[in-house]
Amino acid sequence: MNEESLKYWIALRAVDEVGCVGFRTLLAAFGSPEAVFRASTATLRVIPGIGLKTAENIRCFTGWETAEREVARAGKLGADIVTCQDPRYPKTLLNIYDYPPYLYVRGSFAEETCVAIVGSRLASTYGKYITEKLARELALQGITVVSGLARGIDSAAHRGALAGKGRTIAVLGCGLDIIYPEENEALAAEIAARGAVATEFPFGTPPNAPNFPARNRIISGISLGVVVVEAGEKSGSLITARIASEQGRSVFAVPGAIESAGSRGTHRLIKQGAKLIEGVEDILEEILPQAGLSRPLPEQRPPRSTLGAVADTPETQPASVQNKGAALGDRERKLLPFITREPLNVDALITASGLTAQEVQSALLVLELGGIVRQLPGKLYSRKE
């Protein structure tokens, strides 16, 4: 779509009293935003839901220069404005009641099956590890992971998908020119290169609190299901789960320790009917049929595993581990000697190895997927025989 046509899309969305639903109604009646602006007040008033005030606001609109600058700015920033009439617009998003008329996008959408993973910004080490593990295994099965680029669970979800060489979509609660939080700027760039960073908010929109519930409806709307990993009793992730349920999406929840505040929200979701997640297979068995995809062959399926004291001296590595060691990175090789047949928890491995929590989580994921380490109930890890 050319810049002249896009100008009318931006302008119509900026008209007072024209929300997403009003935009959709007008678009259905007139075929294009340009035709809406050419219509008379009397003609506009005939459209259901468009009263005299809204019709007059359309006829008296004066923000054309702002609309033109918005389109030009997208071009300068290398971003696309993808309208709901564009074949690139996510088809699943068109199925929600108040879908945005257009999205600002860095990167690209694709014909893809999406699952959202959301959770607490104040995520535990366990929560971030499980999130990265689920996201990576989904990516390995060709599923696109959607989240909100926030700290904690969201960031882990994006990183896990990227680690699995898959696609991921970040939906922002601010303008596309503002990365929030700032420390995720490099992550956002990587997501744009391997998926999409998207928002419905104009350039320059700050990450104000009211924007995030609106953002959440897009996260769930793009996806066939939403996985909540950790959430407090008043977490925004519970809003996403509620919206997902209202949109007819599947809702999944990862259980946690009963004494943990971060488990209260997820446990409440499970009580309310969310599907309890013990591994990625629980997600795939519900999502793949919805997407019309065949289930992977048994040998292609990820192993079903539960989501769950340091050894005195490292044990001698078996030959099978030595052979696989050539394919391991530095952090995996550094961590591996501390993992023995005696089950160890993540905190103990962090202390023993001197690696950061993120490095240990990532290394464990690589070692587990490589068949070198097994995860046991209770968030414990041990060396395979």
What CATH number has the domain bearing residue 28?
1.10.150.20
Residue 44: pLDDT over 80: yes
The pLDDT of 220-242, averaged and rounded, is 88
Q: Mind listing the pLDDT tens digit for each residue in 293-329?
A: 765 544 444 444 445 433 333 333 444 444 444 468 8
- Quick one: 291 and 353 in the same domain? no
Predicted pLDDT at 289: 87
* 80 lies in some domain: no
Please indicate whether residue 196 or residue 308 has the higher confidence score (pLDDT): 196
Q: How confident is the model at residue 32 (pLDDT cuts 50, 70, 90)?
A: very high
CB 248 within 8 A of CB 271: no
What SS3 state is found at 232?
coil
* 307 lies in some domain: no
Q: Nearest Cα to 136, choosing from 333, 279, 10?
A: 279
Predicted pLDDT at 263: 86
* 228 lies in some domain: yes
- Quick one: 224 and 334 in the same domain? no
Predicted pLDDT at 174: 96
Q: Percentage of the chain with pLDDT > 90?
A: 57
Predicted pLDDT at 238: 86
User: Rg of the chain's alpha carbons, rounded to an integer?
Assistant: 23
Please say which residue of 300, 331, 355 terminates a domain: 300
* 12 lies in some domain: yes
214-248 as b/e, with b when 16 or more CB fall inside 10 Å?
Answer: bbbbbbbbbbbbbbbbbbbeebbbbbbbbbbbebe
Q: Mind listing the pLDDT tens digit for each residue in 77-99?
A: 999 999 999 999 999 999 998 99
- Quick one: 296 and 323 in the same domain? no
Residue 45: pLDDT over 60: yes
- Quick one: 197 and 330 in the same domain? no
* 104 lies in some domain: no
What domain range is 180 assigned to? 114-300
- Quick one: 283 and 180 in the same domain? yes
* Number of independent structural domains in the chain: 3
Residue-wise DSSP of 304-338: P-------SSPPPPPHHHHHHHTT--HHHHHHGGG
Is the bond leading into 181 cis (omega within 30 degrees of zero)? yes
Residue 120: pLDDT over 70: yes
| CA within 13 Å, CB half, 364 | 36
- Quick one: 241 and 145 in the same domain? yes
* 98 lies in some domain: no
- Quick one: 264 and 145 in the same domain? yes
- Quick one: 58 and 147 in the same domain? no
Predicted pLDDT at 294: 63
Predicted pLDDT at 227: 96
* 158 lies in some domain: yes
Please say which residue of 251, 269, 300 terminates a domain: 300
Q: Mind listing the pLDDT tens digit for each residue in 346-384?
A: 877 887 788 887 788 888 888 888 888 888 876 788 888
- Quick one: 21 and 151 in the same domain? no
- Quick one: 24 and 168 in the same domain? no
Predicted pLDDT at 295: 58
Please say which residue of 46, 73, 100 terminates a domain: 73
CATH value at residue 332: 1.10.10.10
Q: How confident is the model at residue 1 (pLDDT cuts 50, 70, 90)?
A: confident
* 84 lies in some domain: no
Predicted pLDDT at 58: 95
Q: How confident is the model at residue 33 (pLDDT cuts 50, 70, 90)?
A: very high
CATH value at residue 158: 3.40.50.450
- Quick one: 227 and 185 in the same domain? yes
Average pLDDT, the chain: 87
Predicted pLDDT at 308: 43
Residue 105: pLDDT over 90: yes
Structure tokens at 339: 């993992």
Predicted pLDDT at 378: 67
- Quick one: 344 and 282 in the same domain? no
